[in-house]
Chain A
């Protein structure tokens, strides 16, 4: 996937039709204007409301995945865990045959399509100039684990609560969203070495 950086320059120099492959060596495209991207995202969200009668989400898919995988190894245990048991239900429907799971698979595909078109697919670890790979990956894991707690308590994440509930003028979602920004701003300074 990392063609833009790992591709040696030599073939482009010796190939007779180098121009035809010039795009492979072009730098990643600039990001879309945030307001245009926001309109696009808003129309996708609107489509979800109109087509399905529900908004977007992400953390619920993780819950379904965790419930499903634990159900494979320890079914009795999962059924005793109230938070996950609802994703298993009475066993009549497959836990992964759920709206959010398929939507998140779509997110993966859509991001990959956009990334490929913009030459932004790159196997890499994003970090600041002073951060080691170990620090970055450690904080990524810790941040994910923390976020899972917050999303579970808040009944959703940035997608399911902030975006979806925000557009529906859901009071709890707006309180949640303000707190997300508050928590992030209060924390950013302490982890700045990761990025700055």
Chain B
């Protein structure tokens, strides 16, 4: 049965080795996709290259189908996979603020590490910005605490919120992704940049 770590297949030290190995895979595919480059990442927001959407949603669908299948086979106990509880209001505001930071800085935390690894100075400066912002947030926390814990709904899944079965939601997400990929192709043609500007 899996998750392996929850069934005591290995201890904490080995878990850190696993974390490093899984991280290597994560960083490898981020860089392969071009996500060590802010230019590539921000093209998502100027609509001429929607690789961010394509990669993200393909990854979400792949992992979602894998989890669904393994759980259905009885190989993976989904109740033992950690899921962050929902704090709706701070997550909505946090998402918006994070999006603003993404457009301004050109990276998100994971991709800025990939950018730094491949020599991008702007990636390194972005990481320093992350450190600075984290210190400021920690100092301002007493002021933000009330909001930080607002809208607490515990662990909530889309099937639960929508009142639909797990399988139906999985199927809907797959359909949405396929529709999104077709739409992305159309947008890329519509907003293509002349070769002279690339």
Given contacts A148-B130, A153-B94, contact A49 B81 (CB under 8 A): yes
* B-facing residues in A141-166 (Cβ within 8 Å): 141-163, 165-166
* A-facing residues in B18-42 (Cβ within 8 Å): 18-34, 36-40, 42
Given contacts A48-B22, A176-B91, A183-B102, contact A140 B63 (CB under 8 A): no
Query: For residue A157, which residues in chain B have a CB less than 8 angstroms away from its CB?
Result: 98, 108-110
Give the shortest distance, in Å, between A174 (CB) and chain B (any CB): 6
A18 at the interface (CB under 8 A from B): no
Chain B interface mostly: helix
Contact A169 B166 (CB under 8 A): yes
Contact A188 B42 (CB under 8 A): yes
Give the most central of A99, A167, A170: most B CB within 10 Å.
Answer: A167
- CA of A35 to CA of B57, assembled, Å: 9
Q: Which of B3, B24, B34, B99 contacts A52 (CB 8 A)?
A: B3
Query: For residue B18, which residues in chain A have a CB less than 8 angstroms away from its CB?
Result: 51-52
A26 at the interface (CB under 8 A from B): no
User: What is the number of residues of chain A that contact chain B, defined by CB distance less than 8 Å?
Assistant: 123
- CA of A40 to CA of B37, assembled, Å: 18
Query: For residue A128, which residues in chain B have a CB less than 8 angstroms away from its CB?
Result: 39
- CA of A151 to CA of B117, assembled, Å: 22
Contact A172 B85 (CB under 8 A): yes
Contact B81 A66 (CB under 8 A): no
Q: A111-137, CB under 8 A of B: which get 1 and which 0?
A: 111110010111111111000000011
Query: For residue B93, which residues in chain A have a CB less than 8 angstroms away from its CB?
Result: 150, 153-154, 179
Q: B95-120, CB under 8 A of A: which get 1 and which 0?
A: 11111111111111111111111111
Chain B residue at minimal CB-CB distance from A110: B27
- CA of A146 to CA of B155, assembled, Å: 27
The 8 A-B residue pairs whose C-beta atoms are closest, nearest first, are A143-B105, A106-B23, A144-B129, A183-B99, A38-B58, A42-B62, A148-B133, A154-B94
B175 at the interface (CB under 8 A from A): no
Contact B100 A187 (CB under 8 A): yes
Given contacts A103-B20, A146-B133, A183-B95, contact A115 B122 (CB under 8 A): no
Given contacts A38-B33, A104-B23, A150-B96, contact A53 B5 (CB under 8 A): yes
